[in-house]
Amino acid sequence: MAKEKYVCNKCGKHTPFVQEVENLPDGVERHYAGCQSCGYQSTIFYIDSEIKSLMYQQKNTAFGTKKKERLTKQIQGLMDDLKQKIESKGENDENK
């Protein structure tokens, strides 16, 4: 099976998608992929302990149910909030 690839935001080259995790303060995890050409790190998402426990619940909820739908939306909303919170206080401009 071919390795999944993505296009680097910085150098525009295709690079193998290897997901890595960085631990931030307050139990936040930053999941990112590093470019093999230029070393640039593209953030995929941030999660904290609350999101993690919701993801666990979501995983254990049957497909096609209202509960799963609700959890998925809730997780997405919390991830967006967390991302904004973290990126607004740093000089992280990778998504511009």
Secondary structure (DSSP) of 3-37: PPEEE-TTT--EEE--EEEEEEGGGEEEEEEE-TT
Q: Does 42 bind Zn ion (CB under 5 A)?
A: no
Q: Does 68 bind Zn ion (CB under 5 A)?
A: no
Q: Does 8 bind Zn ion (CB under 5 A)?
A: yes
| 41 close to 35: Cβ distance less than 8 angstroms | yes
Q: What is the closest distance, in whole angstroms, from the C-beta atom of residue 40 to Zn ion in the complex?
A: 5
Q: Which of 4, 5, 11, 49 binds Zn ion (CB under 5 A)?
A: 11
Which whole-number Å values give the CA distances from 9 to 6, 29, 96, in the listed order?
A: 9, 21, 10
- Which range of residues in 35-43, 52-60, 67-75, 83-91 is near Zn ion by CB under 5 A? 35-43
Chain contacts with Zn ion (rule: CB under 5 A): 8, 10-11, 35, 37-38, 40
